[in-house]
Amino acid sequence: MASTAQVSPTLHLLCLPFWMLLFYCSAFDSHDYANALDKSILFFEGQRSGNLPSDQRLTWRGDSGLSDGSSYHVDLVGGYYDAGDNVKFGLPMAFTTTMLAWSVIEFGSSMKDQIHNAQTAIRWSTDYLLKASTTTPATLYVQVGEPNMDHRCWERPEDMDTPRNVYRVSTQNPGSDVAAETAAALAAASIVFKDSDPSYSNKLFKTATEVFEFADRYRGSYSDSLNSVVCPFYCSYSGYHDELLWGASWMYRASQNSSYLAYIQSNGLTLGADEDVYSFSWDDKRAGTKVLLSKDFLEKSVEEFQLYKVHADNYICSLIPGTSSFQAQYTPGGLLYKGSESNLQYVTSTAFLLLTYAKYLSSNGEVASCGTSTVTAANLISLAKKQMDYILGQNPTKMSYMVGFGDRYPQHVHHRGSSLPSVHAHPQHIACKDGFQYLYASSSNPNILDGAVLGGPDNKDSFSDDRNNYQQVEPATYINAPLVGALAFFAAIPTTHSG
């Protein structure tokens, strides 16, 4: 077993009261977290596809993908590239959107002047998801770009000339996973825009209703329907049950409509309500659903959801060293470690769930039950903070894994646009194979992908800032999306410099 983080249930007793813990253990102050929050949202501008607006702040990017969908007579301009390449993958894009929206729902009141940028980042995606959802006949466009061809080139998005194939799921070729995640994204975003733009919010929710119904009625995994263009890239390894329950939970959260409550009650067990899964990602939504539905049990005593609180506790307890159900792995430096590829996605999603669960618990005077011991909201917050601080530079390599944050951060980000010269600096076309000299060059990326959090170090805290080491140096929208909420939480907590 790998060594564990020095976070134990007794730690907070030594540091009582809770606020003192933050003072005492803080490497960063609220100003630093606010700065990181700004950047974490700015990153999404680097991932934009489509027509860039005049207020685009990452100015090294240009317009791209302007005829996406046209050969299929559908407008699919816009949305986000998922990571370092030029494909628009629907499943991770929808999950990213759900997590950005959940970040704003829980922690938007702490975002201050960044709330507008956060909403803009969500809308960039939901505008696209609305275009991708057509209901007569029921069809959801779930991908633009042929990933195998795309990956054979190293090209700027502004230059790309690989096939912009369009892929969809339909009643004959269903994709309940991608469709239910899209419904979750639209429903969660409808909550975000409820006050600021009610008509947009209504449109999002109405479309979510239709997309969820399509997901539920025509059941199947998009991995079966689309196969080699979604696998192994974003294969739905966990199947579609988790997304159906997650989607229904967001429909319920957005509407409080009792028909979704009834759906969750009658389908929950067959859709994984009592299955304990210890990671939360673009593929597997089970842990997130447990936390999400716990709110209703804790706040409104919806008895039917007690099951979700029990399993949310199981998930949370698995992360806390010293409890009987502990089973996570931490690096010697204290980072949660799930796997060698893009590990920080699990760290940010876990930190978000820790903070959200802490919020639900503390506002209802509750604790998590871990066998014979209990874990408090303060325990969860201190573990989340340790993970955030590690990402931002308090770690054995003394490097920030957020690009542009701090004195030392990775220089060789695995990202086509960031690593190739900007189209504004070098307007001549750089062809497919000609770009590879930039992938393999030892020089730093010419364009700073501000705010991108990368895959991160290995299980021994080692990190190799090598552009071809995509497992560690590639960014992804779903790494940053839950981070936005977590950073907002810490940005709002007053801290003092403790030296």
Q: Which is nearer to ligand NAG, 259 or 437 (CB)?
A: 259
Does position 257 bind ligand NAG by CB under 6 A?
Answer: yes
Could you say which of 196, 259, 301, 468 contacts ligand NAG (CB under 6 A)? Answer: 259
Member of 209, 325, 382, 387 binding ligand NAG (CB under 6 A): 209
Specify the residue, 28 or 250, whose C-beta has the smaller distance to ligand NAG.
Answer: 250
The single residue of 243, 414, 415, 450 carrying the catalytic annotation is 414
The nearest distance, CB 205 to ligand NAG, in angstroms, is 10
Question: Has 45 been annotated as catalytic?
Answer: no
Site for ligand NAG in 353-382 (CB under 6 A): none
Q: How far is the CB of 138 from ligand NAG (least distance, A)?
A: 15
Q: Name which of 145 and 247 has its Cβ closer to ligand NAG.
A: 247
Give me the sign of the Cα torsion angle 443, 446, 448, 452: negative
Count of CB atoms situated within 10 Å of the CB of 471: 16
What does DSSP say about strands 88-89 and 139-144: parallel, antiparallel, or unpaired?
Answer: antiparallel
Name residue 373's beta-bridge partners. 370
Q: The tokens 């803080």 sit on which residue?
A: 26
User: Which residue's C-beta sits nearest to ligand NAG?
Assistant: 257
266 belongs to the binding site for ligand NAG (CB under 6 A)? no
Nearer to ligand NAG among residue 171 and residue 257 (C-beta): 257
Q: Alpha helices, DSSP H only, in 305-343?
A: 306-318
Do you know the residue count of the chain? 499
**Least CB distance to ligand NAG at residue 209 (A):** 5
Contacting ligand NAG within 298-327 (CB under 6 A): none
Q: For 345-363, what is the HEC assignment?
A: HHHHHHHHHHHHHHHHHHC
Residue type at 239? G
Least gap, CB of 95 to ligand NAG (angstroms)? 22
Would you say 209 or 477 has its CB closer to ligand NAG? Answer: 209
The two structure tokens encoding residue 100: 């950005």
Give the burial class of 254: count Cβ atoms within 10 A of its Cβ; 0-12 exposed, 13-18 middle, 19 or more buried: buried
Omega into 232 within 30° of 0, i.e. cis? yes
Phi and psi torsions of 222, nearest 5°: -70, -20
Given the residues 127, 304, 458, 465, the one annotated as active site = 465
Question: Binders of ligand NAG: how many residues, by CB under 6 A?
Answer: 3
Here the contacts of 374-379 (C-beta below 8 Å, separation 24 or greater) are: 375/9, 375/316, 375/317, 375/320, 375/323, 376/12, 378/12, 378/18, 378/21, 379/7, 379/9, 379/11, 379/12, 379/320
Least distance from C-beta 183 to ligand NAG, angstroms? 11
Smaller CB separation from ligand NAG, 34 or 187: 187
State in angstroms the smallest separation of the CB of 259 from ligand NAG.
4
Subset of residues 423 to 482 that bind ligand NAG, contact rule: CB under 6 A: none
Catalytic residue flag (residue 497): no
What CA–CA distance (Å, rounded) separates 169 from 141? 6
Residue 414 annotated to the active site: yes
Query: Both tokens of residue 364?
Result: 């209802």
Alpha-helical segments (H) within 319-435: 344-362, 377-392, 416-419
Q: Which is nearer to ligand NAG, 82 or 210 (CB)?
A: 210
Asked if 201 touches ligand NAG (CB under 6 A), the answer is no
Query: Cβ 213 to ligand NAG, closest distance in Å?
Result: 7
Per CB under 6 A, residues contacting ligand NAG are 209, 257, 259
- Annotated catalytic residues are 414, 465, 474
